[in-house]
């Protein structure tokens, strides 16, 4: 059951953002639903097919968007005073780092996509047009 999975996750990882999300976190979830989720099948198609240079701009937009939303989430995990939260949050630096490690892949993958789009010659070199 999904509710049981959510309860297990929040208890194990001590993640109050999932049970008591602040307004800014809810806004990020809406951005994920509107921007990120539609991007996944489009990007999946482009990357699996290969040779789709048109994915560069959408991938740059996606990756920068995700990276900028993850920075405040990670800062919140590291620096917020969770003692006032209704739901259990991380109590020690070790618990903060464990929760941080749950979220950080969602930053690293978009950064790798961004790096690929900006530095891979396949995506950075303009296609030369044939002259007639």
Q: What are phi and psi of 120, to 5 degrees?
A: -75, 125
**What is this structure's pTM?**
0.83
Domain positions in the chain are 2-123
Separation between Cα atoms, residue 74 and residue 99, nearest integer Å: 9
Vertex 97: Cα angle to 76 and 109 (nearest 5):
80
Helix axes 56-79, 105-119, angle to 10 degrees: 150
Q: How far apart are CA 51 and CA 112, in angstroms?
A: 18
pLDDT band at residue 45 using 50, 70 and 90 as cut-offs: very high
> Which tens digit of pLDDT belongs to each residue from 71-129?
999 999 999 998 877 777 898 999 999 999 999 999 999 999 999 999 999 898 665 55
Residue 19 DSSP code: T
């Amino acid at each position: 059951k999904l509710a049981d999975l959510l309860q297990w996750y929040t208890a194990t990882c001590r993640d109050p953002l999932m049970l008591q999300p602040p307004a800014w976190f809810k806004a990020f979830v809406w951005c994920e639903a509107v921007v990120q989720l539609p991007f996944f099948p489009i990007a999946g198609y482009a990357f699996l097919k290969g040779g789709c240079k048109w994915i560069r701009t959408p991938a740059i937009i996606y990756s920068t968007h995700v990276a900028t939303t993850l920075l405040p989430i990670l800062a919140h995990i590291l620096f917020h005073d969770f003692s006032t939260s209704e739901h259990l949050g991380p109590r020690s630096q070790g618990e903060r780092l464990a929760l941080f490690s749950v979220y950080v892949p969602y930053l690293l993958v978009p950064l790798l996509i961004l790096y690929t789009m900006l530095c891979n010659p396949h995506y950075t070199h303009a296609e030369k047009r044939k002259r007639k």
